[in-house]
Structure 1
């Protein structure tokens, strides 16, 4: 089992909330709302604590398992049976791993759900861009901060 760096996992877990505040706010907020056929007024009256708390909890689960799978993928066993961690421990390397996890696991889920839900292409592309960025940044943080 890898040794978990809980502080790195916690920092990586807040990444989607920080990026999301910018991405779905001033950068693409209006476009995102339009992709649902909604306005800012329609968003009022929601249980914000439940929404953001639940999102943060989900982000923690993502960060935890991203750390776990990246750590397990960086382990090699030498001929003598010794286990060594084989990581470049760079942000770029971790971002690559994070993006590949997104590309292979998350993006197909987003697309499959969108097909069944008849989600507009604009919304699908916004969500793909957001999660690709989040997974890359989270992976970068987790690989550098071993």
Structure 2
């Protein structure tokens, strides 16, 4: 099973695209700024190239983990020693991959796993940090909602884009 690098790099853009919309002042941006105590002027002072560049790199990390969670065939490939060992695998592995190599490789299945990742992984992390930082539930839900949506889209793209 080969990695779809185009799907990985495009899926990593989702964090930025959804963020531009989600944190826009006309959506949740004004509430988010109020809850963080930031102003437009303070936000403009940041090094945007550094922020967006690192966000994209970190997003590639997230996409690769999401790929492992949504594409179940990765487990089968791992059992034979990884992609480098596919040509050495027993005929039973080849038969399995022929029968099930694209099973559950749909946008819908990926979206489900992305949503589950957001709900049971991202949300608790954000909530724990928010609680210790004494942030409001508005703040927690704004960030959690962003990650729920973002991970759902990433899961959908990375799993369904064969």
What interval of TM-score do these two structures reach, taking the shorter chain for normalisation? 0.7 to 0.9
RMSD after superposition:
2.0
Offset, 1:44: 2.2
Question: In structure 1, what is the equivalent of residue 87 of structure 2?
Answer: none
The answer (yes or no) to whether the contact 1:74–1:87 under 8 Å persists in 2 is no
Question: In structure 2, what is the equivalent of residue 54 of structure 1?
Answer: 54
Number of residue equivalences? 143
What pairs up with 1:124-139 in 2 under 5 angstroms? 124-139=140-155
Q: Which moved more, 1:84-93 or 1:117-126?
A: 84-93
TM-score normalised according to structure 2 size: 0.80
The answer (yes or no) to whether the contact 1:74–1:86 under 8 Å persists in 2 is no
Offset, 1:95: 0.3
Question: In structure 1, what is the equivalent of residue 33 of structure 2?
Answer: 33
Q: Distance in 2 between matches of 1:31 and 1:7?
A: 35
Question: In structure 1, what is the equivalent of residue 138 of structure 2?
Answer: 122
Offset, 1:43: 1.3
TM-score normalised according to structure 1 size: 0.88
Offset, 1:86: 5.3
2:92 equivalent to 1:93: no
The answer (yes or no) to whether the contact 2:71–2:105 under 8 Å persists in 1 is no
Offset, 1:90: 2.3
Q: Distance in 1 between matches of 2:151 and 2:10?
A: 13
Gaps of 5+ in 1: none
Gaps of 5+ in 2: 80-90
